[in-house]
A and B are shown apart, each in its own frame.
Chain A
Amino acid sequence: MSFLAAENMTGGYGAADILHDCTLRVEKGQIAVIVGPNGAGKSTAMKAVFGMLKLRGGHVRLDGEDITQLSPQDRVAKGMGFVPQVNNVFPSMSVEENLEMGAFIRKDDFKATMEQVYDLFPILRDKRRQAAGELSGGQRQQVAVGRALMTQPKLLMLDEPTAGVSPIVMDELFDRIIEVARTGISILMVEQNARQALEIADQGYVLVQGANRYTDTGKALMADPEVRRTFLGG
């Protein structure tokens, strides 16, 4: 039984379906990566898993429990954390306040978690009094990931965490994400940088027009000549 099992998801924003029988699974402590062309429905699939989209078919199970009917807020309480593709920080609030808001639903002391986030992203410690909107793209993504980690999620969902950052910062972020996965947190991630992402992926999904086109381990997808030719540029 996978830790996250989002199976046969069908649905969209209005009358037309965007997702068609889409299935995504993540094992405990592993990294699953979704790749695919622009407009394939990757973000839509993430929203569906997080409950921001009404599904016409399929179900979502977390750790064996059916959460298909839960609101996003309730899913956060169940141990899911989500970093959206855009608008993923509170721009006028300081880095520290962003992290505090991430921990909003927690009733216990979250200082230790904040320290862990600062240890993971040391630059955030230096910038903790600065408004998140004034940071560079890479730093802002770190704030966004840090905010989602504040609830101590068991499943962390990242929609293009490396969008708009330099290759060096991208490698840096991927290293941090591997580090997070090593602590036992499962990761479901959408990535535009398909090669680098599949390299660190335990499981890879190629999504096309809202449906699963290829599903295999990251290594196998990288080795598949068909996938290489059509999606990885040779």
Chain B
Amino acid sequence: MDFLNAIVALLNFVIIPAAAYGAQLALGALGATLVYGVLRFSNFALGDTMAFGTAITILGTWWLQSHGVSFGILPTALLALPFGIAVTAALALATDRVVYRYYRQVRAKPVIVVIASMGVMFVMSGITRFVIGVEEIRFVDGTKFVIEANSFKQATGLAEGLALRSTQLLTMVTAALVVAALFWFLNSTRTGKSMRAYSDNEDLALLSGINPERVVAITWIIASALAVIAGTLYGLDKAYKAFNYFSLLLPIFAAAVVGGLGNPLGAIAGGFLVAFSEVGVTYAWKKVAGYVMPEGLAPDGLLQILSTDYKFSVSFAILILVLLFKPTGIFKGKAV
């Protein structure tokens, strides 16, 4: 019984939250890694692209709700998602036109483009705050729980409750569908393959008649879609606050770098690795330990390695360790 309780507590407080968070990071890291692979720079504006896209999605959600539209048991935000993606992709393409294209033409060093992307980040974060403000916004509706803690306790007779929020399940399902679609696109379509070819060997792609501007445009559209989906899922799961998305930049890049920048599979693995490390290190293991340790040996302390206030230091530590010992990441990306 105690063992079962330990497993349920582990699921409830570590595995499910980390899996949902990992899926969100994985989507964000995919966007980062695609931009890095094709445009060859780390896009610091990614966090604020997520914030902007989610803000637009929220506006769309409110508009739909004010017209009495809802998505039944699912959040209305899902219906507004295509609108958020379209607006964000348009903004990304416009940004490419006025900012990044120039640096491509003069073949600027990646570090210069990174700095340019910081400028873009400030502009975007300004626009976002102008559009939706700085307050915390909750925009989730529909059914709240798939599995509810109390009814789980009653049904199983266990002391520990297990809760699975709809947004958590939704996050994982959506992420799986999006990743499957992305890999199908990259591996099975002519356009997707031309993107990989361009990322692999730019000069040879040119010699083969692949149009770089088209590849770049498609990359921005896909990266925007990934950012908005990740941002909306994160906002549904937690809450929307523009600043939080800026903070997500660190775990997202940690995920992309751990997996190997430019490697999509690595980005997914990296997302989950970072999420599980973060949750694992900041979770107070006292409860789980109490169930599995023999009577009397149960620890007094919380068994929490780091307070949740320091959760971002986990990503930071991962980032530094990877850069020191395996700069190409676990899945062999381009060296950074």
Contacts and interface: CB of A to CB of B under 8 A. Distances in A.
Most buried by A among B193, B200, B204, B207: B207
Interface residues of A, number: 21
A88 B209 contact: no
Contacts of B193: 93, 97, 100-101
B207 A84 contact: yes
Contacts of B207: 50, 72-73, 76, 82, 84
A166 interface: no
B304 interface: no
Contacts of A84: 203-204, 207
Interface of B: 190, 193-194, 196-197, 200-201, 203-210
Contacts of A101: 193-194, 197, 204-205, 208, 210
Contacts of A82: 207
A147 interface: yes
Contact of A104 (B194, B200, B201): B194
B192 to A, nearest CB: 10
Q: Which 4 residue pairs spanning A and B have beta carbons closest together?
A: A105-B209, A90-B200, A101-B197, A104-B208
- The B interface, classified by DSSP as helix, strand, loop or mixed, is helix
Nearest to A150: B208
A90 B209 contact: no
Nearest to B332: A92
Contacts of A104: 190, 194, 197, 208-210
B201 A76 contact: no
Given A90-B205, A92-B196, 8 more contacts: A72-B207, A84-B204, A90-B197, A93-B196, A93-B197, A101-B193, A101-B194, A101-B197
A73 B201 contact: no
Interface string A120-154: 00000000000000000000000000010000000
Interface of A: 50, 72-73, 76-77, 82, 84, 87-93, 97, 100-102, 104-105, 147
Nearest to B199: A92
A128 to B, nearest CB: 14
A73 B200 CA distance: 18
Contact of B200 (A72, A76, A92): A92
A104 B198 CA distance: 12
B204 A90 contact: yes
A72 B206 contact: yes
Nearest to A133: B200
A105 B201 contact: no
A101 B194 CA distance: 7
Given A97-B193, A100-B193, A101-B194, A89 B209 contact: no
Contacts of B190: 100, 104
Nearest to A87: B201
B266 to A, nearest CB: 12
B206 A89 contact: no
B194 A89 contact: no
Nearest to A75: B207
A84 B205 CA distance: 12
A93 B205 CA distance: 12
Contacts of A87: 201, 203-204
Nearest to A86: B203
A61 B215 CA distance: 31
B204 A73 contact: no
A38 B272 CA distance: 50
Contact of B209 (A50, A73, A93, A100): A73
B200 A91 contact: yes
Contacts of A73: 206-207, 209
Contact of A88 (B194, B197, B204, B205): B204
Contacts of A100: 190, 193
Given A73-B209, A101-B210, A90 B203 contact: no
A18 B205 CA distance: 26
A89 B201 contact: yes
